[in-house]
Chains A and B, each alone.
Chain A
Amino acid sequence: QVQLKESGPGLVQPSETLSLTCTVSGFSLTSYSVSWVRQPSGKGPEWMGRMWYDGDTAYNSALKSRLSISRDTSKNQVFLKMNSLQTDDTGTYYCTRGPNWFAYWGQGTLVTVSS
């Protein structure tokens, strides 16, 4: 069955870089796109960016200068890197599959930006 799982550090220092990995199973990254979505506690989700099935990427313009998404199809993994983290980047980060709506989500990983 379709599964996605996020992994990465739970705590990041202000001004440093966040690196997260989304490991997928049950589908091919060359057939489906994977997005990153984050959610501050108690607030609505925010779409961050997408790795398309053909290897192209799309980013939320609000984050584009700080964000990079890449993949390793041999390992079924999609990567997120975001630099210059600040306290308002704290929240749960999800990877999710779907062209437009998001039918499959990972469990999420909580990222806290704090010194």
Chain B
Amino acid sequence: DIQMTQSPASLSASLGETVTIECRASEDIYSNLAWYQQKPGNSPQLLIYDANSLADGVPSRFSGSGSGTQYSLKINSLQSEDVASYFCQQYNNYPPTFGAGTKLELK
């Protein structure tokens, strides 16, 4: 199975700041990567697919980039509603696998 390693595990940032979360795959996943946001008590919500395509209804302050084994999620101008956990997921190989998550808090 492809291992997905996220960093950092937790992150504290101020309102208005730009935040970057990294995800590394154990092998090349050819941009077959999605990012999700999960608020406490809620289901994961799709943010990004195909590494850099914004899902419907997702604010443009979210963006994804990367290739090969290295990917990142960037949040520009952090808002209070962005406090959540974020997960990456690869779908290049079976089974689809997720990262362990990054917990984003306000400073």
B44: chain A residues at CB < 8 Å are 45, 94, 102, 105
Q: Is residue B46 within 8 Å, beta carbon to beta carbon, of the partner chain?
A: yes
Is A44 touching B99 in the complex (CB atoms < 8 A)?
Answer: yes
**Beta-carbon contact of B101 and A44 below 8 Å:** yes
Which of A43, A47, A94, A103 lies in contact with B100, CB distance below 8 A?
A43
Contact partners of B49 in chain A: CB under 8 A: 100-101, 103
Q: Are A101 and B91 in contact (CB under 8 A)?
A: yes
Task: For the complex, give the distance between the alpha carbons of A45 and B44 in Å.
Answer: 9
B interface, by DSSP: helix, strand, loop or mixed? loop
Q: Chain A 6-43 against B: per-residue CB contact (8 Å), 1 yes, 0 no?
A: 00000000000000000000000000000100000001
On chain B, the residues within 8 Å of A87 by CB distance are none
Chain B residue total in the interface (Cβ 8 A): 23
B46 near A47: Cβ-Cβ < 8 Å: no
Residues of B within 8 A of A46 (CB): 98
**Chain A hits for B21, CB < 8 A:** none
Whether A101 and B95, one on each chain, are in contact in the complex, defined by CB atoms closer than 8 angstroms, is no
CB contacts under 8 Å to A, within B35-55, are: 36, 43-46, 49-50, 55
CB contact list, B57-107 vs A, under 8 A: 87, 89, 91, 94-101
- Residues of B at the A interface (CB closer than 8 Å) are 1, 32, 34, 36, 43-46, 49-50, 55-56, 87, 89, 91, 94-101
Binding site for B on A (CB under 8 A): 35, 43-47, 58, 60-62, 94, 100-103, 105-108
